[in-house]
Amino acid sequence: MWALAFALIIVLFQNLKNTPSEVEIPYSAFKAKLRDGRVNQVKVRPDLIRGEYKDDAGHVQHFRTLPMPDLKLVEELEAYHVQDFQGEADRSWLTSVVFNLGLFLLFFGLWWFFVIRQVQGGGKQALSFGRSRARRVDEKKTVTTFADVAGCDESKEELQEVVEFLKSPGKFEKLGGKMPKGVLLFGAPGTGKTLLARAVAGEAGVPFFSASASEFVEMFVGVGASRVRDLFDQAKKAAPAVIFVDELDAVGRHRFAGIGGGHDEREQTLNQLLIELDGFEQHQGIILIAATNRPDVIDPALLRPGRFDRQIATPLPHLKGREDILKVHSRKVRLGPDVDLSIIARRTPGFSGADLANVINEGALLAARRGKEAVELNDLEESLERVVAGPQRKSRIMSDAEKKVVAYHESGHVVVAKLLSNTDPVHKVSIVSRGQALGYTLQLPKEDKHLTSRSEISNRLAVLLGGRCAEEMAFDEVTTGAADDLAKASSFAIKMVTEFGMSEKIGPLSLKEPDREIFLGRDLSQGASYSQNTAELIDGEVKRIILAAQAMAREILTTHRKKLDDLAAKLIDREVLSGEEIDAIFQGAVS
């Protein structure tokens, strides 16, 4: 932008200097025109002659020419009646230097003016590259404590020690105990890693410095390292303190991975982090807490003793934990008398703390929108579905034909799920579109499950394929609506064969593909851990499993065609059916 503006101004200036209509003519032509009596004005400079003459059509034409040693010029000018001739001083080198300098200063001043303005207006970016953008959160104002974190008692217990240390760093040293310098929290997103780190600072009553590792890795080489240094300097001044680095995997991946892996910005940043970790002493009372959801990619150098030697998992909460988290988040929400949080907890296996917080929040918003005094059970149920499947889209209009297809598709899932044993109970089925899905069948497990048997997975596959089979049977045609089901089914089948050892032909082997994320670096040398033959065998087995599931779904739907038709008809009519209503339809169809 600036270069462009600069060039533009220069060009403009040049154009102003040379009047555009001026023609350059040879000295001889000038003399000829003079002798013709056509020249009527001349300015003579040692280095240039300019003037006006009348051209053939009688128009005034500006000209210029380079002078030659011509002692008789003045005599001739007089002789041919040039009315107006005068000498002009040469623009000496001094004036041109002053002139150009002035121009330069002008541009520099303009540039300075704009940059300064930008810096003042735009967050002082230009002048503070190397500064850490870490936010210092004073825990006196917004205190987060362990009471705000629920459902991860083991993690809290382990962190309690860190809190004690921060409260009185000297005490530990006296007894010769060694505190960890770094604590690595790992777990799925939304399981409360950030929250726990804050709570540690809150419990100990020390300042909390938080930064995200991805902020360290910026465009300019060296900036990350200097930001890390700055972050630690800030914290040391405020010690005892907690430094929290989120998304550690952004800088802490295995080094020497990837093309040209050596000296990149990320690695410099990581090295600086290691230097800082090694550089501070116990008694300084600083604890570095880092969080990641990819502990498997963290550089082993970070996990050595004296660095992040304490690793604490934040797992997804169990039933009791979920109830506690729901309680924590509904402290400030008025709940109706019909709300039993243990029911919500039971219906939310696999939800993270953040999801649960979201359920409560959405429920409160819904209740407010409906003008209620308190949040009731149905608000929470609706918000639960929102969190699972995205908001209901009332505005989306489906043609009747499409509605029929979706109704058969979803009914297919339901019928297969109801008639197979070992499947999760169907809680609800709907053909009102929600988020990406045109319709959905909500199956909720009765309890938390950590083990899944082969027959359970096979049945689940049959349920997934049931939607497509039903469409096929009802319309002799399949649609794109089953894409998501197929993707899920395939991924299950692949896992059955390569991870769970559930295929007879492959046997109890783990043929998991190596983690491909580190592109062309470490893994290049490892390659696939099985032969081409095995790869073909895997493909065959995956296909066989899917086809078997399809056959199972088809058989069930053919024998129970009437149930499928009844259910689809009802669904077209009502759009949403609850678990009890589905039961009623099934019993009606039997009798």
152 binding partner (options ligand ADP, Zn ion, Mg ion, none; Cβ < 5 to 8 Å by kind)? ligand ADP
Q: Quote the least distance from Cβ 122 to Mg ion, whole Å.
A: 27
Interface stretch with Zn ion, choices 47-55, 328-336, 371-379, 465-473 (CB under 5 A): 465-473
Q: Quote the least distance from Cβ 187 to Mg ion, whole Å.
A: 10
φ and ψ at 173, to 5 degrees?
-65, -40
* Under rule CB under 5 A, residue 485 binds Zn ion: yes
Between residues 215 and 267, which has the closer beta carbon with respect to ligand ADP?
215
The residue whose Cβ lies closest to ligand ADP is 353
| DSSP assignment of 296-311 | GGB-GGGGSTTSS-EE
Between residues 267 and 485, which has the closer beta carbon with respect to Zn ion?
485
- Find the helix or strand (DSSP H, E) in which 50 lies: strand 48-54
Q: Which of 348, 414, 359, 352 is nearest to 382 (CA)?
A: 359
In one-letter notation, the amino acid at residue 123 is: G
Q: Quote the least distance from Cβ 291 to Mg ion, whole Å.
A: 6
Q: Quote the least distance from Cβ 395 to ligand ADP, whole Å.
A: 30
Those residues with Cβ within 8 angstroms of residue 253's Cβ, 6 or more apart along the chain or in another chain: 266, 297, 298, 299, 518
Positive or negative CA dihedral for 207, 213, 215, 217? positive
| DSSP assignment of 346-399 | HT-TT--HHHHHHHHHHHHHHHHHTT-SSB-HHHHHHHHHHHHH--B-TT----
Question: x/- contact string, 159-188, with Mg ion (CB under 5 A)?
Answer: ------------------------------
Interface stretch with Mg ion, choices 34-42, 139-147, 194-202, 263-271 (CB under 5 A): 194-202
One of 247, 267, 382, 410 is an active-site residue; which one? 410
357 binding partner (options ligand ADP, Zn ion, Mg ion, none; Cβ < 5 to 8 Å by kind)? ligand ADP
- Find the helix or strand (DSSP H, E) in which 60 lies: strand 60-65
Residues 344-383 that bind Zn ion (CB under 5 A): none
191 binding partner (options Zn ion, Mg ion, ligand ADP, none; Cβ < 5 to 8 Å by kind)? ligand ADP
325 binding partner (options Mg ion, Zn ion, ligand ADP, none; Cβ < 5 to 8 Å by kind)? ligand ADP
366 near 379, Cβ under 8 Å?
yes
Q: Quote the least distance from Cβ 173 to ligand ADP, whole Å.
A: 31
Positive or negative CA dihedral for 465, 467, 470, 472? negative
In one-letter notation, the amino acid at residue 464 is: L
134 binding partner (options ligand ADP, Mg ion, Zn ion, none; Cβ < 5 to 8 Å by kind)? none
Instruction: Return d(Cα 172, Cα 170) in angstroms, integer.
Output: 6
Q: Which of 166, 240, 152 is nearest to 203 (CA)?
A: 166
* Under rule CB under 5 A, residue 467 binds Zn ion: yes
245 binding partner (options ligand ADP, Mg ion, Zn ion, none; Cβ < 5 to 8 Å by kind)? none
Between residues 155 and 459, which has the closer beta carbon with respect to ligand ADP?
155
DSSP 47: T
The string over 66-78, giving b where at least 16 C-beta atoms fall within 10 Å of a residue's C-beta and e elsewhere, is eeeeeeebeeebe
70 near 34, Cβ under 8 Å?
no
Interface stretch with Zn ion, choices 186-194, 483-491, 571-579, 582-590 (CB under 5 A): 483-491
List of residues contacting ligand ADP (CB under 6 A): 149-152, 187, 189-195, 291, 325, 328, 353-354, 357
Beta pairing class for 60-65 and 23-24: parallel
Cα separation values, 324 from 9, 189, 244, 281, 591, Å: 68, 19, 25, 38, 44
Between residues 323 and 485, which has the closer beta carbon with respect to Zn ion?
485
Active site (annotated) includes residue 410: yes
Q: Quote the least distance from Cβ 332 to ligand ADP, whole Å.
A: 12
Q: Quote the least distance from Cβ 246 to Mg ion, whole Å.
A: 5
Q: Quote the least distance from Cβ 6 to Mg ion, whole Å.
A: 45
467 binding partner (options Mg ion, ligand ADP, Zn ion, none; Cβ < 5 to 8 Å by kind)? Zn ion
DSSP 446: S
410 near 567, Cβ under 8 Å?
no
224 binding partner (options ligand ADP, Mg ion, Zn ion, none; Cβ < 5 to 8 Å by kind)? none
Q: Quote the least distance from Cβ 368 to ligand ADP, whole Å.
A: 19
Those residues with Cβ within 8 angstroms of residue 178's Cβ, 6 or more apart along the chain or in another chain: 172, 282
Judged by CB under 5 A, the residue of 144, 194, 212, 498 near Mg ion is 194
φ and ψ at 548, to 5 degrees?
-65, -40
26 binding partner (options Mg ion, ligand ADP, Zn ion, none; Cβ < 5 to 8 Å by kind)? none
Cα separation values, 81 from 46, 65, 112, 416, Å: 22, 20, 54, 113
Interface stretch with Zn ion, choices 293-301, 424-432, 444-452, 484-492 (CB under 5 A): 484-492
Between residues 354 and 518, which has the closer beta carbon with respect to ligand ADP?
354
Residues recognised as catalytic: 410
Residues that bind Zn ion (CB under 5 A): 467, 485
Residues that bind Mg ion (CB under 5 A): 194
